[in-house]
Chains A and B, each alone.
Chain A
Amino acid sequence: MKIQEYTQSKYNFEECMKCTVCTAYCPVLQVNPLFPGPKQCGPDEERLRLKDPYFFNTALKYCMNCKRCEVACPSGVNVAALIQSARIHYDHTPPKVRDRILASTDFMGKMARPVAPVVNAVTGLGITKTVLDATLKIDHRRSFPRYSGSSFTAWLKRHRKEQAAFEEQAAYFHGCYVNYNHPQLGKDLVKVLNALGVGVQLLEKEKCCGIAMIVNGMSARAARNASVNIASIRKAVDKGLKVLSTSSTCVLTLRDEYPELLGIDNDSVREDILLATRFIFERMEAGATLHFRPDYHRRIAYHVPCHLEKLGWGVFSERLLRRIPGVEFTLLDSNCCGIAGTYGFKKENYEAAQNIGAPLFDQIRSVDPEVVACDCETCKWQIEMSTGYPVMNPISILAEALE
């Protein structure tokens, strides 16, 4: 018998058996009737788009790339990647000024850092928010991330010598957020890794991972960043280093979005790019120990960010937190917080974002923890703004609990 060679369609879309499971798990579909949903925007319309790009549907912009459809799909269809790649290939409308600004996290950080107190004061003002809302359609109800006066990279460079003294080394992809908004998280990572006998170094060059550019119609710029990052990562990996990140979204982008959406080959280094909690967990499993304060006590509710759920690594952060003596741990139900990076900042998405996050916010209020733990910076903004509960990265909790 003659049979066709096994073939695999791009993003596995021919495997879709139209079971509709993904539609039940898409957070946007549940709150925004303008969005046709993952099945329709992904595999269903891909058939049409392949025939004629005319069938490209601009409603695809409502997809927030949370990847929940991919986690739910029993057939291994890369639904979110299908949607984002269709946007990249068929949507040629230039990004709005607002989207350019929101996507340029590193540029904005560089500009804002020297004048951080002013920027923080200004973006906190009601009048600024009203102006941003009216001119740029950045929703006025949002609170803005604060900028830090000194960057993480400057701090680490000052400590280069003592870090180099550790026999074992790891490279840190700090990301824009740690560098410009929250250097303390980077310092916390250094503290925890040092306690494990590992020194921290920067990559030769680091650019914004580019996820915000990818979803805001600036994939060419994202690809340039990706090439720089992968080249630097390759150099670090060649020296035998693991490359760590404290942001689940940066990790997902470096590992999966680069090859899937930008066509950047990362095969030889992909397995060496790790979320810091995974690296730490694996070290401890191999026998390393951390010494925790005997008097430490925290009631923690842990939220697994969507992109960490997609990576499948929430279990590492969870297990590390549970290991800290004195931690009362609650795992929050799997829900999206609604922000999805820059998505929730846009005026047209604000309502949807808050509706999506409502079940998570309600659960946090009913658990009433001292602190919410979460590995994503944008979830942190969203949860803090929407619930008033403080949010900490698991790495900062580890650092705080260390002796």
Chain B
Amino acid sequence: MRFDTVIIGGGLAGLTAGIALQREGKSTAIISTGQNALHFFSGSFESVVEKNERMIDFFAKAGIPLHYAPGVRLMPLGSFRPSALCLEDTDIFPTAKVGSKVLIVNFMGYHDFFSTFLAEGLEKEGMQCRIRLLDLPELEPLQRSPGGMRSVQMARILDPIWEKFVQEVRLLIKDEDIVVIPQVFGLKDPSTPGLIREDLPVRAIFAGTLPPSVPGIRTQQLLGRNYERLGGTYLKGDHALRALTKDNRIIGVSTKNLDRHYLKADTFILASGSYFSKGLRSNPFEITEPVFDLDVNYSPERSDWYNPKFAADQPYMHYGVKTDENLHAIKGGTVIQNLYAIGSVMGVSHPRFGFGAGLAIRSAFHVTDQIVQESKV
């Protein structure tokens, strides 16, 4: 099967590249082993500090509204972190002192939301906190099952009854000026959190839960759907195995599901993520990139890989595939002209493209712009 571009990895980086190219009229395929880091997405696009109109417009076209307001956001364990560009679910404040009195609402039997840590964090910033549990009869079937009270299953039940939820919260509010709610709303529709916010008499903050992330899954679904509606071929659950190479160019890749049927293309984009997604692999001796066997940037001295302090910034997280400045991948010291690397397979951060979602999207744009440009000449 032939495409203009084949993308390996269907996370934020791969989907962004796929959608951008489809919108330019290219034919593309995305091969994606399984789901990706978007399922843990907080809703904040890390390392995007500028008002990036291009990103905002890009996501709006896929039905994903973003808002820009440089400041700080509340983390799931009660600390605050800088943020500027977010999904609608995530609130950004100028400073960590977001109010004076806070009501933290959780659901009976829901253990994936850390109310007490949140309260401790907020109290440190000088706010008074009260935690209340809601016991909604609609959630009772989930409470009976061991795996039931999980974000996604809860959202499926809560989304249609968000108005009832708002009424219940109204009854709980005394003199608080802020209410903190778990991110378990808006599995399908990105507007639900906004509707809840509008209907509450005080300012609402949606705080992160343990995975899977409801806003993250929704974002993944909307991007995937947008990609398919644009005519992209999304090979879900398939795994790129090996590449067919000729004269230092990639001609095709084979996959687990397609046996010897190679996917051929003019250009290839590697967006296979980091260790977590198996875009990078490690053993005690080396760190490798399994599909193309690209050069990976890491210290030969294993003791350099990690910092014994658990919470420290770990050097191994910064290792990734080597590229030239236009993100062409490098193998055996030679640049491969029709293979690019984007997103976290390059390592957790990049001097030019930032880290997190910023890295994924900026690097995807950088590469797709080149591909579109080159096809015009």
Please report the C-alpha to C-alpha distance between residue A16 and residue B276 in the assembled complex, in whole angstroms: 11
List 24 contacting pairs A-B, 8 Å CB cutoff, sorted by A.
A17-B276, A19-B212, A21-B211, A23-B150, A23-B153, A33-B142, A33-B148, A35-B145, A36-B147, A37-B147, A39-B147, A40-B146, A72-B35, A72-B237, A74-B33, A75-B34, A76-B239, A271-B259, A309-B237, A310-B237, A311-B257, A312-B256, A315-B1, A333-B225
Asked if B130 CB lies within 8 Å of chain A CBs, one says: no
A315 with B233, Cβ < 8 A, contacts A33-B142, A74-B35, A333-B225 known: yes
On B, residues with C-beta under 8 Å from A are: 1, 29, 33-36, 39-40, 141-142, 144-148, 150, 152-153, 156, 210-212, 217, 225, 228-229, 233, 235-239, 255-261, 276-278, 283-285
Question: Is there an interface contact between A23 and B152, defined as CB atoms closer than 8 Å?
Answer: yes
List residues of chain A with CB within 8 A of the CB of B210.
20
**Least distance between B83 CB and chain A CB atoms (Å):** 24
Asked if A144 CB lies within 8 Å of chain B CBs, one says: no
**Least distance between B3 CB and chain A CB atoms (Å):** 11
Question: Is there an interface contact between A21 and B146, defined as CB atoms closer than 8 Å?
Answer: no
List residues of chain B with CB within 8 A of the CB of A315.
1, 29, 233, 235
Please report the C-alpha to C-alpha distance between residue A13 and residue B360 in the assembled complex, in whole angstroms: 30
Please report the C-alpha to C-alpha distance between residue A303 and residue B258 in the assembled complex, in whole angstroms: 20
**Least distance between A252 CB and chain B CB atoms (Å):** 11
List residues of chain A with CB within 8 A of the CB of B150.
20, 23
Question: Is there an interface contact between A71 and B236, defined as CB atoms closer than 8 Å?
Answer: yes
Please report the C-alpha to C-alpha distance between residue A309 and residue B259 in the assembled complex, in whole angstroms: 15
Please report the C-alpha to C-alpha distance between residue A282 and residue B259 in the assembled complex, in whole angstroms: 13
Question: Is there an interface contact between A72 and B145, defined as CB atoms closer than 8 Å?
Answer: no
Asked if A121 CB lies within 8 Å of chain B CBs, one says: no
Please report the C-alpha to C-alpha distance between residue A62 and residue B211 in the assembled complex, in whole angstroms: 24
Question: Is there an interface contact between A34 and B145, defined as CB atoms closer than 8 Å?
Answer: yes
Q: 5 more A-B contacts (CB under 8 A) besides A24-B217, A33-B148, A74-B34?
A: A24-B152, A39-B147, A40-B147, A72-B35, A309-B236
Asked if A1 CB lies within 8 Å of chain B CBs, one says: yes
Please report the C-alpha to C-alpha distance between residue A313 and residue B255 in the assembled complex, in whole angstroms: 12
The 5 closest A-B pairs by CB, nearest first: A312-B257, A71-B237, A74-B34, A33-B141, A24-B152
Asked if A334 CB lies within 8 Å of chain B CBs, one says: yes
Which of the residues B39, B278, B283 comes within 8 Å of A24, measured between beta carbons?
B39
Please report the C-alpha to C-alpha distance between residue A271 and residue B338 in the assembled complex, in whole angstroms: 30
Point out which of A25, A285, A310 has the most chain B C-beta atoms below 10 A from its C-beta: A25
Question: Is there an interface contact between A29 and B147, defined as CB atoms closer than 8 Å?
Answer: yes
Query: Nearest residue in B to A270 (C-beta to C-beta)?
Result: B259
List residues of chain A with CB within 8 A of the CB of B239.
76
List residues of chain A with CB within 8 A of the CB of B236.
71, 309, 312, 334
Query: Nearest residue in A to B236 (C-beta to C-beta)?
Result: A71
A278-302 residues with Cβ-Cβ distance < 8 A to B are: 282, 285
Query: Nearest residue in B to A35 (C-beta to C-beta)?
Result: B145
Query: Nearest residue in B to A30 (C-beta to C-beta)?
Result: B156
List residues of chain A with CB within 8 A of the CB of B145.
33-36
Point out which of B148, B237, B239, B277 has the most chain A C-beta atoms below 10 A from its C-beta: B237
- Map CB proximity to B onto A254-289 as digits: 1 under 8 Å, 0 otherwise: 000000000000000001000000000010010000
Question: Is there an interface contact between B284 and A1, defined as CB atoms closer than 8 Å?
Answer: yes
Question: Is there an interface contact between A285 and B1, defined as CB atoms closer than 8 Å?
Answer: yes
A302-332 residues with Cβ-Cβ distance < 8 A to B are: 309-313, 315, 318-319, 331
Asked if A73 CB lies within 8 Å of chain B CBs, one says: yes
Please report the C-alpha to C-alpha distance between residue A252 and residue B276 in the assembled complex, in whole angstroms: 29
Which of the residues A1, A33, A40 comes within 8 Å of B144, measured between beta carbons?
A33
- Map CB proximity to B onto A165-179 as digits: 1 under 8 Å, 0 otherwise: 000000000000000
Please report the C-alpha to C-alpha distance between residue A331 and residue B227 in the assembled complex, in whole angstroms: 12
A3 with B283, Cβ < 8 A, contacts A33-B142, A40-B147, A74-B33 known: yes
Question: Is there an interface contact between A20 and B211, defined as CB atoms closer than 8 Å?
Answer: yes
**Least distance between A302 CB and chain B CB atoms (Å):** 11
A312 with B235, Cβ < 8 A, contacts A21-B39, A72-B35 known: yes
Question: Is there an interface contact between B212 and A24, defined as CB atoms closer than 8 Å?
Answer: yes
List residues of chain B with CB within 8 A of the CB of A271.
259-260
Question: Is there an interface contact between B33 and A30, defined as CB atoms closer than 8 Å?
Answer: no
Asked if A70 CB lies within 8 Å of chain B CBs, one says: yes
Please report the C-alpha to C-alpha distance between residue A34 and residue B259 in the assembled complex, in whole angstroms: 38
- Map CB proximity to B onto A119-133 as digits: 1 under 8 Å, 0 otherwise: 000000000000000
Please report the C-alpha to C-alpha distance between residue A40 and residue B153 in the assembled complex, in whole angstroms: 15
Question: Is there an interface contact between B257 and A21, defined as CB atoms closer than 8 Å?
Answer: no
Query: Nearest residue in A to B256 (C-beta to C-beta)?
Result: A312
Query: Nearest residue in B to A322 (C-beta to C-beta)?
Result: B231
**Least distance between A8 CB and chain B CB atoms (Å):** 14
Question: Is there an interface contact between B34 and A76, defined as CB atoms closer than 8 Å?
Answer: yes
Query: Nearest residue in B to A17 (C-beta to C-beta)?
Result: B276
Please report the C-alpha to C-alpha distance between residue A74 and residue B40 in the assembled complex, in whole angstroms: 13
Question: Is there an interface contact between A19 and B255, defined as CB atoms closer than 8 Å?
Answer: no
Query: Nearest residue in B to A68 (C-beta to C-beta)?
Result: B237
Which of the residues B225, B237, B260 comes within 8 Å of A312, measured between beta carbons?
B237
Question: Is there an interface contact between A29 and B211, defined as CB atoms closer than 8 Å?
Answer: no
Query: Nearest residue in B to A25 (C-beta to C-beta)?
Result: B35
- Map CB proximity to B onto A22-61 as digits: 1 under 8 Å, 0 otherwise: 0111000110011111011000000000000000000000
**Least distance between B36 CB and chain A CB atoms (Å):** 6
**Least distance between B137 CB and chain A CB atoms (Å):** 13
Which of the residues A21, A33, A36, A282 comes within 8 Å of B35, measured between beta carbons?
A21
**Least distance between A229 CB and chain B CB atoms (Å):** 20
Please report the C-alpha to C-alpha distance between residue A402 and residue B66 in the assembled complex, in whole angstroms: 48
Please report the C-alpha to C-alpha distance between residue A74 and residue B9 in the assembled complex, in whole angstroms: 11
Query: Nearest residue in A to B152 (C-beta to C-beta)?
Result: A24
List residues of chain A with CB within 8 A of the CB of B238.
312
Which of the residues B147, B156, B211 comes within 8 Å of A19, measured between beta carbons?
B211
Please report the C-alpha to C-alpha distance between residue A334 and residue B141 in the assembled complex, in whole angstroms: 26
Point out which of A17, A39, A70, A74 has the most chain B C-beta atoms below 10 A from its C-beta: A74
Please report the C-alpha to C-alpha distance between residue A37 and residue B147 in the assembled complex, in whole angstroms: 7
**Least distance between A390 CB and chain B CB atoms (Å):** 24
Please report the C-alpha to C-alpha distance between residue A36 and residue B150 in the assembled complex, in whole angstroms: 11
Please report the C-alpha to C-alpha distance between residue A17 and residue B142 in the assembled complex, in whole angstroms: 24
Please report the C-alpha to C-alpha distance between residue A30 and residue B152 in the assembled complex, in whole angstroms: 8
List residues of chain B with CB within 8 A of the CB of A282.
261
Query: Nearest residue in B to A57 (C-beta to C-beta)?
Result: B146
Query: Nearest residue in A to B225 (C-beta to C-beta)?
Result: A333
Please report the C-alpha to C-alpha distance between residue A259 and residue B147 in the assembled complex, in whole angstroms: 30
A62-94 residues with Cβ-Cβ distance < 8 A to B are: 70-76
Question: Is there an interface contact between B212 and A312, defined as CB atoms closer than 8 Å?
Answer: no
Query: Nearest residue in B to A274 (C-beta to C-beta)?
Result: B259
List residues of chain B with CB within 8 A of the CB of A311.
257
Please report the C-alpha to C-alpha distance between residue A19 and residue B241 in the assembled complex, in whole angstroms: 23
Please report the C-alpha to C-alpha distance between residue A1 and residue B302 in the assembled complex, in whole angstroms: 12
A232-249 residues with Cβ-Cβ distance < 8 A to B are: none
Please report the C-alpha to C-alpha distance between residue A74 and residue B35 in the assembled complex, in whole angstroms: 5
List residues of chain B with CB within 8 A of the CB of A334.
236
